[in-house]
Each structure stands twice: as C-alpha cells, then as structure tokens.
Amino acid sequence: MKNSTDTNRDFWNELTEIHCRSKFYCLEEFKQGRQTLHDLELELLGNVESKSILHLQCHFGLDTLSLARLGATVTGADFSDNSIAAARQLAQEIGVPAEFVCADVYSLPELLEKKFDIVFTSLGVLCWLRDLPAWAKVVSHFLKVGGTFVLVEDHPLAFIMDEKSEQDNLRISYDYFDKSTLSLSDEGSYADPNAVLEHKLHHEWTHSLDEIFSSLIDAGMRIESFHEYPFAMFQRFDWLIKNEKGWWQPVDGALKVPMLFSLKCSKK
C-alpha cells in the first residue's frame, strides 16, 4: 500500500505531462518570453533583481524561471520527478540559469544547505501538505534573518465549498476544521478538465487561516500583510468569468466570497 506522498507523486507526475502540453500553461509562449507571475505576486515580491529566492512546490518551473528572468538567483523544489525533469530541460532550452531540487518540502533541508532572501510559494500548494507546523519550520529554516516569505493561495473558505454550487446558492461541502485526509479520485485537472488519468487517486488536506497563521508565527515569522480577494486562479465555479488580468471572478452584482488570499511575512 502506497503512502499519501507516493500516491500524490504518481498523480502529479502524470499531471506534469498533461500540463506541459495544456493551453492553460502556454508553454510555447513562455519559451518566447511570456511572464507567468501574476500582478498580485509581483507586487508582493517587489524588486527581485539580485535576490536569492527559494520557490517551494514549483511544479515544472515556469514561475521559478520567470523570477530568474527578472534577475533573481532561483532554486525551485518539487517532489514530482517529472516536474523537476521538465523544469531542468526547460531551463536548459531557454538558456535561463536556475537550480532545481527533487524533494518534498519536509525533506528539503536534508538536501539543500543554502539560505535565501525570499521564500516563495503560490496557488494550490497548502492542500498537498499534511503538516503545516513542519512546513512553516522549513520556510523559516531557509530564510535569512530579515528575509521575506510570500504566499498567494486558495482561500480556505473557497476550498470547502461545493464546486457545483450555483451563483446564488453557494454550498459548503467540507468541514472547515477537519484535519483528516481527504482522498479523492477525479478525472482531469484545473489545467485540462477533460484529461483522462491513469493515476486518479490523490490525497489533500484542509487548513484553516488560524492554522496557517499560527504555524508561521510559531516558526519565528512576523506577519507583515494579509489580504483576501474575490477571484480565483482557475474557473472554480462555472459562473465565474475571466477578467482582463487573467483572474476568474463573479459578474458584477453577484455574491462575492474570498477565493484567494495573500500573506507576506518576515523572519525575526
């Protein structure tokens, strides 16, 4: 019987192949110079030129390499073998220097000795982590004193909502405070809903804002800013429409709920 990490690795190894050819990621456009970081992320990160950055759960490296194109010295880490292989190949193909390490978040300190000006992770990352206090300690471990941690993530409220909810009838499907493993077996992904998967089974975990904040504070981080946003990275609900900045939002006048949040922290 595989453990949750191995099962999720199989899932993401298969998704990597799907995502590399999906319209969602527009890989060929990226090779021609397209920037993949959103305005929200760029504003929080600030000027990254000459900064050392660790990108946790980097997938196949588009955001990591986007940071490198902006002048940062970057290291990306992900537990998917296929993701890291694709990231390394892409970096070589476009001639952008970057280091990529294949490791899950919790074992990364055993493989990487550097300290960084910035630790960055973004969009769909926390639900794959069972132990947030241990995650926060890893973030703190890799930051220089005074360094910055930047997180942009799906809002916990959006995560527990029924994705089939109608615009005027939003429903809660999961327990906000439930810490048990959520085992799912779905076809497709956010990047290609019609993809047929061999490795459908995957495991996720919900985390409250309280748990996120407390884990970071207990790990020696100081919260500098926190914001909530009424839009999503992907079409979480059928009735969301894409705005001019690429976010998915309700139509004007519709009920709004937080679907993303951002945190910026510093290491004491």
| Res. 112: pLDDT tops 70 | yes
| Res. 87: pLDDT tops 60 | yes
| Res. 253: pLDDT tops 80 | no
What's the pLDDT tens digit per position in 195-233? 999 999 999 999 999 999 999 999 999 999 999 999 998
Report, as an integer, the average pLDDT of 174-190: 89
Q: How confident is the model at residue 127 (pLDDT cuts 50, 70, 90)?
A: very high
| Residue among 142, 248, 261, 144 nearest 208 (CA) | 261
| Res. 104: pLDDT tops 90 | yes
Report, as an integer, the average pLDDT of 83-111: 97
Q: How many residues does the chain have?
A: 268
% of the chain beyond a pLDDT of 90? 79
| Res. 1: pLDDT tops 80 | no
**Cα–Cα distance for residue pair 54/52, rounded to 1 Å:** 7
Give the DSSP letter string of 61-101.
SHHHHHHHHTT-EEEEEES-HHHHHHHHHHHHHHT---EEE
Lowest-confidence segment of 154-158, 201-205, 253-257 by average pLDDT:
253-257
The pLDDT, as a whole number, for residue 165 is 83
Domains observed in the chain? 4-22+47-267 (3.40.50.150)
**Spatial strand order in the sheet of 143-154:** 99-102, 73-78, 52-56, 116-122, 143-154, 260-267, 221-229
Report, as an integer, the average pLDDT of 156-170: 86
What's the pLDDT tens digit per position in 19-41? 999 988 999 999 999 999 999 99
